[in-house]
């Protein structure tokens, strides 16, 4: 069940994993492009996974729109698109294995209650032996990760209280939590490298610990700067960031390359998207990407 894709062990397998809560915006394009270029610069495979496990946030038709947008930008994936909503048996099996190890327990604490007690979960329910049904399920943290190396950001240190926190792997409403499913998906798909936004730096520590708990090798991580309209204001679907233009992909692609520190020559302004991507694959380097958590964008392409 938790066996990586054997035919691809030892080779580069990256992925782009958008949530279908709206169309791709410029920030999404930067993440997709960075992960694509990283994979192709290593002659690796680039996969697409639709992270639709959080069903209340799913917008009907957004998954198709995302895939069509990627195709319009010349970002073609190398394997079948995976949908988290179709993988519940994988998640249930893993949850059962963790429960058999007696490291999963029920928690009835609300976000409001946790905030009132300082903002981080304090093991309040750990010894209460609450029923597993109709409560959130937490994983006992036996593999805390207090630091790790990132290919863009360098050495990352995680606050001790966050590193040691027992975290939710299945929500009160019955939905599996991102922290669990993203690790199981990466294992199942044989993902070797993850390139994504710097807003996920702290969750990476939990995911690294879960890889250890499951006795699996973790991918290499690279966290690129977040695109922000102003400091602290991330471009996102929730913030109604405008969709990128599917009819004219060149301007946004060139802008995304510049955002990543890859400066295209002037003649590429009139090139095809295929020519731009070919040039960009050869020009790509993690060393070019700014090692900042956020980077402002004065004008969205």
The answer to whether the beta carbons of residues 199 and 92 sit under 8 Å apart is: no
258 annotated among ligand-binding-site residues:
no
285 annotated among ligand-binding-site residues:
no
Q: What is the DSSP letter of 289?
A: S
196 annotated among ligand-binding-site residues:
yes
166's tokens: 């027992």
18 annotated among ligand-binding-site residues:
yes
- Dihedral pair phi/psi, residue 262, rounded to 5°: -105, 105
User: In whole angstroms, how far apart are CA 131 and each of 13, 94, 106, 127, 232?
Assistant: 40, 19, 6, 12, 39
Our measurement of the distance from residue 233's CA atom to the centroid of its chain's CA atoms, rounded to an integer in Å, reads: 19
299 annotated among ligand-binding-site residues:
no
Largest CA distance in the chain: 66
Pairing state between β 167-170 and 154-157: unpaired
17 annotated among ligand-binding-site residues:
yes
Closest C-alpha among 97, 300, 127 to residue 215? 97
87 annotated among ligand-binding-site residues:
no
User: In whole angstroms, how far apart are CA 124 and each of 38, 40, 102, 130?
Assistant: 43, 47, 17, 11
User: In whole angstroms, how far apart are CA 211 and each of 47, 114, 134, 208, 219?
Assistant: 20, 26, 27, 5, 9
Residue 144, Cβ density class (10 Å: 0-12 exposed, 13-18 middle, ≥19 buried): middle
107 annotated among ligand-binding-site residues:
yes
178 annotated among ligand-binding-site residues:
yes
The answer to whether the beta carbons of residues 192 and 219 sit under 8 Å apart is: yes
Phi/psi-derived region of residue 118, left when phi > 0, alpha when psi is between -120 and 50, beta in every other case: left
Residues in binding site for ATP = 237
Q: Which residues are annotated as a binding site for Zn(2+)?
A: 107, 109, 121, 125
Binding-site residue numbers are 15-19, 51, 107, 109, 121, 125, 178, 196, 237
**What residue numbers does the annotated binding site for L-glutamate cover?**
15-19, 51, 178, 196
């Amino acid at each position: 069940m938790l066996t990586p894709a054997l035919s691809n062990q030892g080779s580069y397998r990256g992925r782009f994993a958008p949530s279908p809560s709206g169309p791709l915006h410029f920030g999404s394009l930067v993440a997709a492009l960075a992960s694509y270029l990283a994979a192709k610069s290593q002659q690796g495979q680039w996969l697409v996974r639709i992270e639709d496990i959080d069903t209340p946030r799913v917008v009907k038709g957004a998954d198709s729109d995302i895939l069509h947008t990627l195709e319009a930008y010349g970002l073609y994936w190398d394997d079948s698109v995976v949908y988290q909503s179709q993988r519940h048996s994988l998640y249930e099996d893993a949850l059962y294995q963790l429960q058999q190890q007696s490291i999963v327990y029920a928690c009835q604490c609300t976000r409001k209650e946790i905030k009132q007690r300082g903002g981080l979960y304090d093991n309040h329910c750990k010894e209460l032996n609450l029923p597993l049904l109709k409560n959130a399920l937490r994983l006992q943290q036996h593999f805390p990760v207090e630091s790790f190396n990132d290919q863009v950001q360098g050495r990352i240190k995680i606050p001790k209280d966050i590193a040691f926190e027992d975290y939710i792997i299945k929500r009160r409403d019955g939905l599996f939590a991102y922290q669990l499913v993203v690790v199981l998906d990466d294992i199942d798909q044989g993902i070797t490298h993850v390139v994504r936004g710097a807003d996920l730096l702290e969750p990476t520590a939990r995911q690294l610990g879960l890889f250890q708990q499951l006795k699996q090798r973790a991918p290499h991580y690279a966290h690129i700067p977040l695109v922000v309209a102003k400091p602290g204001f991330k471009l996102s679907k929730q913030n109604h960031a405008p969709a990128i233009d599917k009819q004219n992909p060149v301007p946004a692609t060139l802008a995304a390359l510049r955002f990543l520190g890859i400066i295209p020559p002037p003649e590429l302004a009139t090139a095809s998207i295929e020519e731009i991507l070919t040039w960009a694959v050869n020009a790509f380097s993690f060393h070019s990407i700014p090692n900042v958590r956020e980077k402002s964008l004065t004008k969205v392409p």
